[in-house]
Structure 1
Amino acid sequence: MRKTRSNSLADVKVKTDLVSAARSGASMTGCGFNAAVNGTANPSSHRGGTLVFDNSGDWDSTDPGNSYVAYAWNFARLYTRTLTTYSAKAGSGAEELVPDLARDLGEVSPDRRTWTYRLKPNLRMEDGELITSYMIKHAVERSASYSDTLPIGPVYWRTFLASFGDSGEDTSGTGEQVGISTPDPLTIVFHLRRPMAEFDHLVSMPQTAPVPPAKDTGTEYYRHPLSSGPYMFDHYVTGKQLTLVRNPQWDPSTDPARKQLVDKIVVNLNVDADEIDERLFTGRSHLAVEGGGVQHRGQARIMASPALRSNADNPTNGFVWYAAINTVIPPLDNVHCRRAVLYAADHVALQEAFGGSAGGEIVSTMLPQTIPGAPPETFDPYGFHSKPRGDLKKAAAALAEGGCPDGFATAISFRNNRPKEQAAAEALRDSLARVGIKADLLGYPSGEIDVYPGTPAFVHENNLGINITGWGSDWPSGFGFLHAICHGDAILPTSNSNISELNDPLVNALLDVVMTIESATERHDIYRRVAERITEQAAFLPIVHSRSLVFRNPDVTNVRVSSALQMHDYAVMGLRPASKTDETTR
């Protein structure tokens, strides 16, 4: 009875959606389910209109050198350009690297430790200043020199650039950052400690977006980072709204990956997640900027309505939802206690938390099958597939071997504006209680991930042994996925992405050597070995390899899922003529 009643109410709600959408001027007739996965939905060159996004939180930072969230990097391509970027092709072609600010991909020395890029001439910042190699040098250095002012972002620069020690400070004795040289205004040279086979991918990150040194306002730069892309900041009120407008200095003839179709882009911030779905279905906004898909009620409404379904995409996006299990907080510093968590987990309940099969498939390894080197699907040492509700006998045995036969107490964190993460935390808490593991729950704002699970001191003080989160590859390779979450060098005092604090000598050694190997096939074999090793160490509980049921307003044009960006490509979107939406959160 409950199921029947639920479906009936969903049908009524869908009809209400369609009536509301018609009144708002948005027709819900779309171009087909998954139309943007391997192709382009609503291709168009029409110019004009205001593209409206909603965000259930706020950015970690809009400063391109101080950000480490996937959707923030995707959105930043609207107001930044980098040395390289990913093509604007649909489907798997989106993984193709193309020159962006640079004229070509990097020129590498015979020892593969020096990479040279030459810039396209006459490119300008939003204020008309010519873009130079000095601006890019400054941008990388300000991000790489770890400090309390710009703590967020990847550690690759400090790992590979020749002059950076573990603290990000100059170690050359010259007082200069000799890891980067600029022979002339249009040439930038990176000098590395050791070969880095995928360096062209590294310079596609927003940390290479130019920052004029004289206009760098430090901790305040996020309020108005100067644009090198097709749009520039108009106003940004943190926690409320961000508005971008056209950048008149952007030259489309030099840009292979972006368009400048709409007049303005508005992002409403801190909108309730379920309200975002309602606004999408009734035509009051165009897209949810976080790219994680609609919530549970929204999923049911889409699947119950052919009209809504025709405006939805459900790609396997390369992300993994998982629980990071801290390897240094007692008793989880004992591998047997960590294994007990994996054995006790109810994988069906965890999958349901993320929307069932529409949200992703139950998996037993962190590395997605979309990345070469992933272990085969038959790799299942903890029986996730054979006993998807958990193996309580093995969990109890592991607890006994770890010296905790009666269980132990810990805490589980999650982002409290993301209902799926909260549902997963609750499901895991209930799973673990079956074997005596008592877990308290701690929710925190999504924009504060660097303050809560990303700060080891806070994690230790609050006994945060388990943290629900998600991860996608920094670039489409095993190294781009694995290094930041499981190498000991990635453990930082804040903005720590290695939330498990895994510092395993074998994992570190494999990831240290892999970038010196020229053969991609050999690198893939090492990625498989790392993925199997971190599974053996039980530092991660993979939940699902994510599928996002994402709704796109039918007025949005040039919608395509980028396999490199792992969501819709925001930098090419436009609107149909006479599209109207509500630019406010209410």
Structure 2
Amino acid sequence: MNSRKATAALALATALALGASACSSDSKSSDNGKKSSSSQGTSAAKDAALTGIVNASDQKGGTVVMENSDVPDSLDPGNTYYGWVQNFSRLYARTLLTFKPAAGKDGLTVVPDLATGLGKASPDAKTWTYTIRSGLKYDDGTPITTKDIKYGIERSNFAPEALSNGPTYFKAYLAGGDAYKGPYKDKNPNGIASIETPNDTTIVFHLAKPFADFDYLATFSQTAPVPAAKDDGAGYVKHIVSSGPYKFASYQDGASADLVRNPQWSQATDPIRKALPNEIKIKFKVNANTIDNNLLAGNTTVDSGGTGVTPQTQAKVIGPKYAKNTDDSYAGATSYLAINPNVAPYNNADCRKAIEYAIDKVSVQTAIGGPVKGDVATTLLPPTVNGYTKFDEFATPDNKGDATKAKASLAACGKPGGFTTNLTARSDRPAEMAEATAIQNSLKQVGITANIKSFPAGKYFSNFAGVPSYVHQHQLGLMLTAWGADWPTGYGFLDQIVDGSAIKPSGGNNLQELNDKNINAALAAAIANTDAAARTKAWGDIDKMVVDTATVVPLIYRKNLLYRPDSATNVTITQAYLGMYDYLLLGSSK
């Protein structure tokens, strides 16, 4: 999904391992949101929001102001893959299950949302049944039924011609998923047969193969209900029908959105949301440094992107005046370089290995702001995700690159003098552009000339790096990206970036177009295994298999150096959404 010291990371990973033994609804708590000791209010101090709630308040009112340096891929809950939108969309789009709005490890607990409880699984983890609450309504007063949830899944997973940004887990795992053409092409009013809705409050999923993480999948925004009569494909984003405590008062594509209270929402049917602010405003295409300045001045509540302050602002906020308002959170995400073997000369494994050995990862870390912005990575899985196993397949002295090994690999692939290549990054993300420059300098030392091509974040995957035809035509051999888990297990992290089935005509995240039959089979076997310990081990093994292909260069286990103004209330980090602030809790005293 488009990341404390080692002991804390290990503790979190252990907690995840204990909470990820799906296949039985008893394996995860169904707590409906009552406070625990870790979610009590905390005074403002450096890193206070990592484990507590800063400026806790039950006061209703105020306006939360959000800003973002680019545009979202989409605010349509069925057409998004950015982590911040998954977090943000919970304000207006309820899902079957969600992550508990709470501080610390409690925020990783899966709790019922539209549903009355967690999924009831068959012993083989191929059939999952949910019951939703009675009395649910959209913002127009019409009732929400399980048929709307089914329709939302159908449109989001089976209509790439209209909605291409999100993942396709349901398509991959539902029985008959390969044959169903989606609601816009298949006019059968019954839709896909493997999702049954025997009544308005029951929904049953029949899978073609076991899927032990299904409760995590039920937290995804694609399970938000969508009324078929109001849907017009890609245009739905302009008039989203709300199932949450807020509805859209206005939406200007690429510019802004304004959310106000939904009078049809009832806390009686939604015990996990407090819905304290009166209004939530979000602005797009605001310069990243401007956002930082607005945060420091108290004019903005939060940078919705959740990736932290820019390198230019970092030196100021770690100083004595502002440090107490910062939280340096592991993002549960890894920044990495994708190497596409379908772009010459990377069809030769030795040319890919030359890239692996040439890059000075410490220079990349320094370019983005040093250790405060993350640790040097040697694996795709970050230490905070269940299944992480430490290894280093392309070790170099002090992680600073090895020119000798890089040049030997160049000679082995028939390019002893080096070559010219293209390297992509997101133009509105200063840290990623800084990474690109550091990599460019590293490659230059061994005779490889990297021309940097930059693209806007909002269209990076849908129009450029995530479009294989564009990548091949424009010879985009090296592509910078970052990835966090769709849910905090190895499968939730790896599947969409390394499985061959995740390669899509557009909106893809498997940028290296990895389609290795052994890796594909290992992923399928692991997620079908109802033994939690065996699954956990498998994720580390698969991670190593991927890195061994030399199609990815792990760079940084990312941290987000976040800033919270004094006016922000109920501020806490959620590891479920990439270490950003939890937007369901966030309020404002203004």
The normalised TM-score by structure 1 is: 0.91
| CA drift at 1:168 | 5.1
Q: Distance in 2 between matches of 1:207 and 1:533?
A: 30
Q: Distance in 2 between matches of 1:355 and 1:148?
A: 40
Counterpart secondary structure, 1:190? strand
Counterpart residue identity of residue 84, structure 2: Y
Task: Specify the alignment match of 2:111 in structure 1.
Answer: 98
Counterpart secondary structure, 1:315? strand
Q: Say which of 330, 345, 352 aligns to 2:366.
A: 352
2:395 matches 1:383: yes
Task: Specify the alignment match of 1:205 in structure 2.
Answer: 220
Counterpart secondary structure, 1:572? coil
Retained in 1: the 8 A contact 2:135–2:269? no
After superposition, residues 209-220 of structure 1 pair within 5 angstroms as 209-220=224-235
Task: Specify the alignment match of 1:541 in structure 2.
Answer: 553
2:266 matches 1:255: no
Q: Distance in 2 between matches of 1:550 and 1:112?
A: 39
| CA drift at 1:167 | 7.5
After superposition, residues 39-50 of structure 1 pair within 5 angstroms as 39-50=52-63
| CA drift at 1:354 | 2.1
Percent identical: 40
Counterpart residue identity of residue 547, structure 1: K
Q: Distance in 2 between matches of 1:439 and 1:575?
A: 45
Question: What residue ranges of structure 1 are gaps of 5+ in the alignment?
Answer: 1-28, 580-586
Task: Specify the alignment match of 2:39 in structure 1.
Answer: none
Q: Distance in 2 between matches of 1:160 and 1:537?
A: 26
Q: Say which of 346, 349, 368 aligns to 1:335.
A: 349
Task: Specify the alignment match of 1:309 in structure 2.
Answer: 323
Task: Specify the alignment match of 1:410 in structure 2.
Answer: 421
Retained in 2: the 8 A contact 1:159–1:166? no
| CA drift at 1:519 | 1.0
| CA drift at 1:147 | 2.5
Retained in 1: the 8 A contact 2:334–2:377? no
Q: Distance in 1 between matches of 2:71 and 2:274?
A: 25
Task: Specify the alignment match of 2:506 in structure 1.
Answer: 494
After superposition, residues 146-165 of structure 1 pair within 5 angstroms as 146-165=159-178
2:500 matches 1:485: no
| CA drift at 1:307 | 3.1
After superposition, residues 520-535 of structure 1 pair within 5 angstroms as 520-535=532-547
Counterpart secondary structure, 1:527? helix
Q: Distance in 1 between matches of 2:528 and 2:211?
A: 6
Q: Distance in 2 between matches of 1:256 and 1:520?
A: 30
Counterpart residue identity of residue 307, structure 1: K
Counterpart secondary structure, 2:471? helix
Q: Say which of 441, 451, 463 aligns to 1:430.
A: 441
Q: Distance in 1 between matches of 2:495 and 2:112?
A: 25
| CA drift at 1:88 | 1.5
Q: Distance in 2 between matches of 1:257 and 1:299?
A: 34
Q: Distance in 1 between matches of 2:180 and 2:447?
A: 41
Retained in 2: the 8 A contact 1:172–1:178? no
Structure 1 191/173 Cα, relative in aligned 2: closer, same or farther at 3 Å? farther
Task: Specify the alignment match of 1:374 in structure 2.
Answer: 388
Q: Distance in 1 between matches of 2:385 and 2:311?
A: 28
2:124 matches 1:121: no
Q: Distance in 1 between matches of 2:398 and 2:557?
A: 18
Retained in 2: the 8 A contact 1:326–1:500? yes
Task: Specify the alignment match of 1:79 in structure 2.
Answer: 92
Q: Give the number of aligned pairs.
A: 545
| CA drift at 1:172 | 12
The normalised TM-score by structure 2 is: 0.90
Q: Say which of 254, 259, 280 aligns to 1:244.
A: 259
How far does the alpha carbon of each residue in 1:518-564 deviate from its partner, in whole angstroms, 9 at most, with x for none? 11110011101111111111111111101110001111111110111
2:569 matches 1:554: no
Retained in 2: the 8 A contact 1:321–1:468? yes
Q: Say which of 184, 196, 207 aligns to 1:192.
A: 207
How far does the alpha carbon of each residue in 1:157-186 deviate from its partner, in whole angstroms, 9 at most, with x for none? 111011211785599998841121110011
Task: Specify the alignment match of 2:193 in structure 1.
Answer: 178
Counterpart residue identity of residue 432, structure 1: L
| CA drift at 1:92 | 1.1
Structure 1 131/512 Cα, relative in aligned 2: closer, same or farther at 3 Å? same
Counterpart residue identity of residue 496, structure 1: G
Structure 1 512/266 Cα, relative in aligned 2: closer, same or farther at 3 Å? same
Q: Distance in 2 between matches of 1:293 and 1:228?
A: 30
2:557 matches 1:573: no
Retained in 2: the 8 A contact 1:87–1:256? no
2:330 matches 1:319: no
Q: Say which of 69, 73, 78 aligns to 1:60.
A: 73
Cα RMSD for the two superposed structures:
1.8
Counterpart residue identity of residue 436, structure 2: A
Counterpart secondary structure, 2:528? coil
Retained in 1: the 8 A contact 2:301–2:588? no
2:157 matches 1:144: yes
| CA drift at 1:569 | 0.4
Retained in 1: the 8 A contact 2:138–2:264? yes
Structure 1 508/417 Cα, relative in aligned 2: closer, same or farther at 3 Å? same
Structure 1 314/245 Cα, relative in aligned 2: closer, same or farther at 3 Å? same
Task: Specify the alignment match of 2:24 in structure 1.
Answer: none
Q: Say which of 398, 402, 426 aligns to 2:409.
A: 398
Q: Distance in 2 between matches of 1:349 and 1:534?
A: 24
Task: Specify the alignment match of 1:12 in structure 2.
Answer: none
| CA drift at 1:141 | 0.3
How far does the alpha carbon of each residue in 1:282-313 deviate from its partner, in whole angstroms, 9 at most, with x for none? 11111100000001121100112x23111110
Task: Specify the alignment match of 1:296 in structure 2.
Answer: 311
Structure 1 166/464 Cα, relative in aligned 2: closer, same or farther at 3 Å? farther
| CA drift at 1:255 | 2.1
Q: Distance in 1 between matches of 2:419 and 2:389?
A: 32
Counterpart secondary structure, 2:280? strand
2:374 matches 1:363: no
Counterpart secondary structure, 2:398? coil
Task: Specify the alignment match of 1:448 in structure 2.
Answer: 459
Deviates more, 1:233-242 or 1:58-67: 233-242
Question: What residue ranges of structure 2 are gaps of 5+ in the alignment?
Answer: 1-41
